[in-house]
Structure 1
């Protein structure tokens, strides 16, 4: 049953005849009469008893009425669900990230997003480095990736967001007083003599840390892929770790932090799969840009994909 024919059929019932129904539907009376005859012909039944002055449903017509009203109700519910997603009264945004950005910047981005859109579910999955993130985007397992913007990202659309400053964090006694320079910084050469607790399986991080990990990783005393374990070991004086300054402030606020010389920085951003993003994803992108991205020009109100570029 065509949707418009179901609509016309129910309108005739509700308005008690062709004339009033045609007026309510803003179509001509002959057109509506023809639509009802078309529906009867397609179904092979007579829907109305036309012998009296008022149209009365036949037994077949009453059965068709039940089906027609069910169809229209289903359509209304579907429209309501679509509207709810578009208005972000519901929906879900799927994000994939690796361990390097699971806390900074992802936590602040999700927190800001949920403050504005508290009816939208945020689903976060883990991936093994940039390659795993791109695989998740290609397969449709995620719609947005958070990753190192210096990594190979093929031709994915991307939005650069910011830069992490990496610092060395260690419990007292790990770094001798004479190791830092007068300005308090640690050279990469000095770090290569310190016991480190890092994740060597994270290829993106391993590339960034290449200058401070000694040949053969001889200064790595614990190769840990679990952040909670890493921070517990660092706090207990087993070794030092390299982490974003913001993460160090959250995870180990009481431990000494040392800037590195030359500085270690890691650029990050969002990677987007091809096609128009869902309303929830577009809202997350806009939120991320508002929290970490470049400010908009005065008086402007950019769309969620303004300033998106390909790295």
Structure 2
């Protein structure tokens, strides 16, 4: 039995006539009659009584028609769900996110997508290193990954989001004797505040505080407990009153979305397409010039 058999039996039961059912189904009457008889042979029961002047459904036929209606309703609901997902009226999108990108640009990327597709549920999975992002995407745990560009994309497709300039954020008292911009070599002597479990790319040896919470870490910088390395946008927008210094040589990282080479789900494809309209996905498409600035909230 297949879906067509269910449709045929329900149509004949509703119309009380093979001829009328065939007309409603837009098929030839002999073809419908043959299909019903073939189904009856397969089931070993008669679904319709053909002895009188009018076709009558048998008790077995009534039971079959009831089950067939449930099957057809389930199929229709499944089609509606698939249609809603394809049209992005529902569904889920899971993104693996490098921890250092959770404050920027993730919120703006998600905000832009949510404005267009508010009924799609977005779920994020945190990752402390780019390799963890890659593994989550390759395994199918996540549809997309937001990470920095590596020399080896690990067999994944990479879609550019933009570039981030990494800067030094610190209290004014700590910045008095530092040059502008700050040489990367000097970072080894500056008391630093780092996130627990993070792996700084630059030589950070003088760790003053390890902190588990990003907001607490930023507040410690504001209070003068030490300095930290952040994307320029985050430093300027989230740490009021601190000094922001560029580094020399400049520390710029390229960030983007990774996905498997095979066709991505509709929600993931829409998220990628939204990048074309996101002119502020990173602090700039190229790093900002060196210079000392006071961040504002």
- Residue 42 of structure 1 is matched in structure 2 by 42
User: 3-state SS of the aligned residue for 2:37?
Assistant: helix
User: Contact 1:161–1:293 at 8 Å: present in 2 too?
Assistant: no
The equivalent residue for 1:179 is 178
Q: Which residues of structure 2 form unaligned runs of 5+?
A: 282-297
Q: Shift of the alpha carbon at 1:293?
A: 9.2
Q: Secondary structure at the match of 2:147?
A: strand
Instruction: Check the 8 A contact 2:138/2:156 in 1, yes or no.
Output: no
Partner of 1:265: 252
Deviation of residue 62 (structure 1)?
0.8
Q: Does the alignment pair 1:130 with 2:117?
A: no
Q: What TM-score, normalized by structure 2, do the two folds share? A: 0.89
CA contact (8 A) 1:175 1:194 kept: no
Cα distance, 1:255 vs structure 2: 1.8
Question: Would you say 1:73 and 2:80 are equivalent positions?
Answer: no
The answer (yes or no) to whether the contact 1:130–1:153 under 8 Å persists in 2 is: no
- Aligned partners of 1:130 and 1:151 also within 8 Å: no
More off after superposition, 253-262 vs 77-86 = 253-262
Is residue 276 of structure 1 aligned with residue 274 of structure 2?
A: no
Distance 1:292 1:152 in 2: 26
CA contact (8 A) 2:155 2:260 kept: no
Name the CA distance, whole Å, in 2 between partners of 1:245 and 1:153. 25
On the 8 A contact 1:162/1:292 being kept in 2, the answer is no
Question: How many residues are matched?
Answer: 281
Note if contact 2:91-2:119 (Cα within 8 Å) is conserved in structure 1.
yes
- Deviation track 1:271-297 (CA, whole Å, cap 9, x = no partner) reads 102421111111111113321599xxx
Of stretches 281-290 and 90-99 in structure 1, the one that deviates more from structure 2 is 281-290
Per-residue Cα deviation, 1:182-225 (whole angstroms, up to 9, x for no partner) = xxx2222444332111247434xx22x23xx3xxx1x2212335
In 2 relative to 1, CA 61–146 (structure 1 residues): closer, same or farther, beyond 3 Å? same
Structure-1 separation of matches of 2:128 and 2:228: 20
Partner in structure 2 of residue 298 of structure 1: none
* Structure 2 residue matching 1:192: 3-state secondary structure: helix
Moved more, 35-44 or 187-196: 187-196
1:93 and 1:122 in contact (8 A); partners too:
yes
Q: Please, what TM-score do these two structures have when normalized by structure 1?
A: 0.85
| Structure 1 contact 98–133 (Cα < 8 Å) conserved | yes
Q: Give runs of ≥4 in structure 1 deviating > 6 Å.
A: none
Structure 2 counterpart of 1:256: 243
Structure 2 counterpart of 1:54:
54
Q: Is 1:228 aligned to residue 227 of structure 2?
A: no
Coordinate RMSD, CA, aligned: 1.8
In 2, the alpha carbon distance for the partners of 1:146 and 1:290 equals 17
